[in-house]
Structure 1
Amino acid sequence: MAHKLEVWLFAIRIGTLALVEGRLTFQYDSDWLKQPNAVALSCSLPLQAEPFDERRTRPFFAGLLPEGHLRRLIAQQLQVSRQNDFALLDHIGGECAGAVTFLAPGQALPQPADSSEVEWLGNTQIITLLDELPRRPMLAGQDGLRLSLAGAQDKLPVVVDGDRIGLPRNGTPSSHILKPAIHSVEDSITNEGFCLTLAEVMQLRPARSTIRSIRDRRFLLVERYDRTTDAEGRMQRLHQEDFCQALGVVPEMKYQNEGGPDLASCFALVRRVTRPSAPQVLRLLDYVVFNALIGNHDAHAKNFSLLYAGQAPVLAPLYDMLSTAVYPNLTAKMAMKLGSQYRFGEVQARHWEQFAESAGLARAQARKRILELARLLPAAARKLQADPNHSFSSHALVERIVNLIEQRCQLTIRRLTAPAAED
């Protein structure tokens, strides 16, 4: 027996996701294929009449779901198998990354009437929510909530209006992602808030974020770059997909050392699908260098995305940025190699050159930009740390991050300007 879900993109039904004898398949609707403006759901799922088998189908659809222990807890809450992508999307696939929604066959797409479709929360309710998230990720199982975001960290799609925070119900688009503290990581809120703000100071166009506090509880609100407002001020979805989805790689293999994408594959993807590609390739270079210099060792292929906001996809803003290198208990290995090296301390000038060549970049051009960022970043970090408009100056963790940035930038400059590096 086949189980089916209708796949909607924006407000249009474009295909069917089916579970047949335990295997996923996806097929575009013939009516969608006839549309002159029809677009593919993913770079890895080009427009075609024939259905895609499980190997082709699963990377995109599994890539919409939470990972690791979050997935296990959600499956327990919903009483389904944690391996069952289809059942999980059936239960929580209402508000996903991008503009995808899953509905039962024949079910009408919810049309939020007004702001009454948002459940606005008081401070006590937000505290309760923060306490509940570790036990019930995505608030799975609550009536009227079908929320899903990829990743292994607790987070929740919410609607933010000024100081108000609410839960989107019955198909209402969320505007922000609420990220509580990671319990096993010291002051993760300050860390990510500082790194995202530093990227903005460096004009790298990251997702915008704000640190909020309620009583003694702190959390991060990250503005969704895959949402926009129309002329009437109504929230609208924009489509997006991460690099693993676009490259047809299942989320369990997101790390390079597991067989996941390397930087060469990421640059080749951007060069292949964006138009004009040169500015997007240079933006990706900035992202890679910035992540390396701040010590974000967890910058794997699911932490880069394509945003479909116009005629051709563009590189999405930076997100999920944490200086993991400041924590001695977290891995010193980077998620993707620079040249042939996983450890930043072992990256010499020749490894930066290997990286540039594999990414299709001119060595001299890449070296010039790497040096430029390495020279600008320490002063920008110190200035942000001291900025009275932020609360970073009193945090010991920020001092450790800035020290690490200074050390990494000095090391990079020294290695790239040594006589041998000029050859």
Structure 2
Amino acid sequence: MNSRQGMEVFLHGRHIGMLTGTSLRLAFQYDADVVAEYGSGATLLSLSLPLSRKKLTGPSVYNYFDGLLPEGQVRSQLAMDNGVSAPDALGLLRVLGADCAGAVQVLPAGVNPQQAGNGKSLTHGEVANIVEALPTWDLPEDFMITASLGGVQSKVLLSRIDGGWSWPGSGAVSTHIIKPDPLDSPVPHLLASEDWALKVASAAGLPAAESWLETFGSRRAIVVKRFDRTAAGGRVHQEDFTQALGLSSANKYEGTTASPSRLTKLTSLAAPHTRDEEEFLRQLLRAVTFNALIGNGDAHSKNYAVLILDGGEVRLAPLYDAAPTLLLHSASVNAGHTLGGQIRLPYLTFEHLVNEGVAWGLQGSEARLTATQALESAAEAAAATPSVEEISFLRELVPARAQDLLNGRTARRSLA
């Protein structure tokens, strides 16, 4: 496979530029008519790649496009299956770029995006076989993987049509993510707790991805409706925080408590592009507070995202990949981001949350009210949201943690 050839980049089906380069060195050139229409410096594809008449090079280009691809074992296997090296983002996008996160498509030169089409209809047995085979992708020869989503967990992207499933080949729009229980996760009941946490967030008034649990053959899985897809099967553009900040996926966890925090940098970059800067900061503080409350040790920069609307308006994306990992596995202590100078979940307090919001630009009283309301609404929702028996203790533990934080203490990690 020759990954040295340039790739066409489309957004919402419109050609916006060319991606060229090899291995770790990529360059991106926006189309002149796109720059003329939106203006140099405008936001279209990524906050880290503002429109420019000049060819864009450097780490931000590689990190944005590389961030469209899976990580870890998932990436290594896809690379091996397709005869490219794992770091070769251009080579992998040649295979997987037809359906990526957001509204971007990266296609071989001369290939037009296919906006319509239902892909290949699947029987219940075929879906079960696909899910059961993960992470090996022991697929029939006519099932070519052409869709991509970041992350380290094994998952399959399918399209939901009239109550059935279809394989999103040839650039068809995938609408749902199916993640079976990991075979070797140290976190017990991970997917059940993720499904529960997303339902709690929604009940608490936080925008969150819609999910449910389902068994496919012998594997239980969480099915997540993609928030970057419309009910009519269209694409909504989004990027995660690593892409917005020009960071590599390998640096998804913030590794320092030095000021300014990563989230402070993100808000400084994104807030000026929002319709209501203060509301954007409040929404982010609610999301951060919720993840701290439930003990989400996976709340890193690839598990937060922004939506980028046509015209450059930025909005915070719904919560996703939210699970109370600390409460299920004691070693999961990393908060993902530094919050008010603290990066360890067991040591976070209410004041850390408030101070982080203040660092973004919120008034102290506004940050305090926002965090208080987020804790109170999440505690009420947690107590009222049903769960499977194995994690039923969370319905009591999460409200108790909320009260601990509101009382100025660190949050307990068990009911004992």
TM above 0.5, yes or no, is: yes
Secondary structure of 2:112's aligned partner:
coil
1:90 aligns with 2:94: yes
Match of 1:157, as an amino acid? L
1:314 aligned residue = 315
Separation in 1, partners of 2:127, 2:323: 24
1:47 is matched with which residue: 51, 55, 66?
51
Displacement of 1:56 in angstroms is: 2.8
Displacement of 1:310 in angstroms is: 5.2
Change (3 A) 1:15 1:369: same
Displacement of 1:14 in angstroms is: 0.9
Quick check: 335-344 or 258-267, which moved more? 258-267
Greater fraction helix:
1
Match of 1:129, as an amino acid? I
Deviation per residue, 1:234-292 (Å, 9 max, x gap): 41111111111111111111111179972222332332321222222111111000011
1:409 aligns with 2:409: no
What aligned pairs does 1:134-153 form with structure 2 within 5 A after superposition? 134-136=135-137, 143-153=143-153
Whether contact under 8 Å (2:115, 2:173) holds in the other structure is no
Quick check: 408-417 or 53-62, which moved more? 408-417
1:396 aligns with 2:390: yes
Change (3 A) 1:409 1:141: farther
1:211 is matched with which residue: 191, 210, 213?
213
Deviation per residue, 1:56-107 (Å, 9 max, x gap): 3112101101011211111111121111111011111110001111222122
Secondary structure of 2:5's aligned partner:
strand
Whether contact under 8 Å (1:253, 1:259) holds in the other structure is no
Displacement of 1:190 in angstroms is: 1.1
1:268 aligns with 2:271: no
Match of 1:135, as an amino acid? T
Secondary structure of 1:207's aligned partner:
coil
Whether contact under 8 Å (1:201, 1:380) holds in the other structure is yes
Whether contact under 8 Å (2:257, 2:342) holds in the other structure is no
Displacement of 1:111 in angstroms is: 5.1
1:421 aligned residue = none
Deviation per residue, 1:375-409 (Å, 9 max, x gap): 33333212112xxxxxx2x4222x23234313321
Separation in 2, partners of 1:20, 1:333: 35
1:346 aligned residue = 347
Change (3 A) 1:309 1:60: same
Change (3 A) 1:141 1:92: farther
Change (3 A) 1:175 1:353: closer
Displacement of 1:347 in angstroms is: 2.6
TM-score (norm 1): 0.87
Separation in 2, partners of 1:251, 1:296: 18
Displacement of 1:332 in angstroms is: 1.4
2:414 aligned residue = none
Secondary structure of 2:408's aligned partner:
helix
Secondary structure of 1:314's aligned partner:
strand
Whether contact under 8 Å (1:80, 1:88) holds in the other structure is yes
Separation in 2, partners of 1:140, 1:335: 38
Displacement of 1:371 in angstroms is: 2.2
Separation in 1, partners of 2:209, 2:62: 27
Quick check: 28-37 or 402-411, which moved more? 28-37
Quick check: 167-176 or 32-41, which moved more? 32-41
Change (3 A) 1:203 1:256: same
Secondary structure of 2:255's aligned partner:
helix
What aligned pairs does 1:210-289 form with structure 2 within 5 A after superposition? 210-229=212-231, 234-257=232-255, 262-289=262-289
Whether contact under 8 Å (1:140, 1:147) holds in the other structure is no
Displacement of 1:179 in angstroms is: 1.7
Separation in 2, partners of 1:46, 1:29: 13
Match of 1:347, as an amino acid? L
What aligned pairs does 1:23-34 form with structure 2 within 5 A after superposition? 23-34=25-36
Separation in 1, partners of 2:141, 2:318: 31
Displacement of 1:200 in angstroms is: 0.7
2:9 aligned residue = 7
Secondary structure of 2:136's aligned partner:
coil
Displacement of 1:25 in angstroms is: 0.8
Relative contact order, higher structure (CA 8 A, sep 6+): 2
Separation in 2, partners of 1:152, 1:27: 30
Aligned-pair identity in percent equals 32
| Cα root mean square deviation, aligned | 2.6
Whether contact under 8 Å (1:367, 1:416) holds in the other structure is no
Deviation per residue, 1:189-209 (Å, 9 max, x gap): 211110111111011011111
